[in-house]
Amino acid sequence: LDFVPNHVLEIMEHLFHSGFDVWLVGGALRDFFSGQAPKDWDLATSASPSEIMRLFPRVIPVGIQHGTVRIHTAQGDIEVTTYGKPGREGILADLGRRDFTVNALALSYPEGRLLDPHGGSEDLRHHLLKTVGNARSRLNEDPLRILRAGRFLGVYGYRIHPNVSAAVKDSLAGIDGIAVERIRDEMLKLIMGKHVEKAFEWMRRCGVLRKVLPELERECRRNRRSSCPFDAYRHTLYTVHNSPFRLRVRLAALFHRLGQKTSVHGAGRRENRSLNSQASAHAAFAVMDRWRMPQQLIQDVMILVRNHIPRNTLRWGGAQLRRLLAAVGPDLLEDLLDLAYADRISGNCREKSLEELNRLRSRISVQMKSRPPLHIGDLALNGTDVMQALSLKPGPLVGEILEQIHQWVLDEPGLNVRDVLIDRIQAKYGGISQNK
């Protein structure tokens, strides 16, 4: 129990000294035995929910019907399953209800003795994911377990036992009945894993992808020959390891080619590219909105998708660079470059395109040093100036004119001088004032 932090041990001790059995269970044990740092802590105890509520000041009942409560501590919440019956029988019944053998281990308090009735530690050693009991009935009982299997594959690279894969299709329909938040939470954990590509491949093969991410499934089918979008995806791992904050880069990598229709070759290439990235941003929105993700994250991912940098930027002029910087903003710039890096490293002419990306990077930093007017607020004049110069009343037109000025100044930063801009708008919009 040396690896268990104090705030968890204190809870175990309190339960133990109050006369209850208490065990460490769940993902923490799995992580510990796989040599990874546990992230969250789950306990199982013979105490009932009401007894737990008596013992601890801050308890949230999360799934009373399953006998699960959450004990709140300053260091994080701890999920506690109550199994009622004391003694060995109680904990064995609890472990028998768990999803996979690698999750059906328990460590006793205070001895730290391992209880492993389903051969979970053996399976852990072999990186093998098996259900506790019959795969078909266990997946049927709770189809979220299908997504959990995908998640464990994505995070740990486990091999999924053929019985589990074969049982998936019988339970697929049940996925429709699962709360979208639970699906989302498993999917986001999967997406942050090291073996995402394998997990998506498995999900596609078993028909799960069509259920939870039909947009991506369609994209895979469309690109039969070039491999899946996970291709680019895989490589984001080099750059964004261990950084949960970079979830947005991973999401952008995953979504950046969704819903595209038009070819980007030949005439009209630039327009088509822009239509395509709009379409992808739309598709990305649809998924993240369905998953009820935070608005800020959704917006950030959409900006990354919409402004995804194409493979060849050698001919980009300063104006185009500044327009990109204005559209993306300084906070997302590193993420955008990581995304471009991931995309290039997954292409075939790596050397050349990495060289090109390095050039882009240095050109961007030169641009940034010259402090270009990335925001409307950086302009040498504001809305009041515009209204005065053109005798306009407040209204959307003022904003549109400011937008136009911003474009001029991004194209040619030297124009960002008050008098120069006033002359320009009077020349272009002078006629408007009489009509308003």
The residues of the shown chain that bind ligand ATP, judged by CB under 6 A, are 26-27, 39-40, 42, 98-99, 103, 142, 144-145, 189
The closest residue (CB) to Mg ion is 27
Q: Which structure tokens are listed for 243?
A: 């950084």
Q: How far is the CB of 129 from Mg ion (least distance, A)?
A: 16
C-alpha to C-alpha distance for 175 and 77, rounded to whole angstroms: 27
Residue 93 · residue 7 · CB < 8 Å? no
Given ligand ATP, Mg ion, none, residue 142, with its beta carbon under 5 to 8 Å by kind, binds ligand ATP
370 residue type, one letter: S
- List, in order, residues 6 or more apart from 413 with CB less than 8 Å away: 322, 370, 372, 373
Q: How far is the CB of 79 from Mg ion (least distance, A)?
A: 6
**Given the complex with ligand ATP, which of 144 and 360 has the nearer CB atom?**
144
Per the listing, tokens 């999967």 go with 190
In this structure, the number of other CB atoms found within 10 A of the CB of residue 436 comes to 11
**Given the complex with ligand ATP, which of 143 and 373 has the nearer CB atom?**
143
Residue 389 · residue 425 · CB < 8 Å? yes
Q: Which structure tokens are listed for 203?
A: 């999900």
Residue 42 in the binding site for Mg ion (CB under 5 A): yes
Sole binder of Mg ion in the list 26, 38, 143, 154 (CB under 5 A):
26
**Given the complex with ligand ATP, which of 148 and 248 has the nearer CB atom?**
148
Residue 197 in the binding site for Mg ion (CB under 5 A): no
Q: How far is the CB of 103 from Mg ion (least distance, A)?
A: 9
**Given the complex with ligand ATP, which of 142 and 411 has the nearer CB atom?**
142
Q: How far is the CB of 299 from Mg ion (least distance, A)?
A: 30
Residue 90 · residue 113 · CB < 8 Å? no
Residue 393 burial by Cβ neighbours in a 10 Å radius (0-12, 13-18, 19+): exposed
Residue 38 in the binding site for Mg ion (CB under 5 A): no
> Site map for Mg ion, 302-341, x if CB under 5 A?
----------------------------------------
Side-chain-side CA neighbours of 6 within 13 Å: the count stands at 1
45 residue type, one letter: T
**Given the complex with ligand ATP, which of 31 and 411 has the nearer CB atom?**
31
Q: How far is the CB of 333 from ligand ATP (least distance, A)?
A: 31
In order of 46, 52, 297, the CA distances from 84 in angstroms are: 5, 12, 41
Q: How far is the CB of 278 from ligand ATP (least distance, A)?
A: 35
Select the span of 21-29, 93-101, 254-262, 422-430 touching Mg ion (CB under 5 A).
21-29
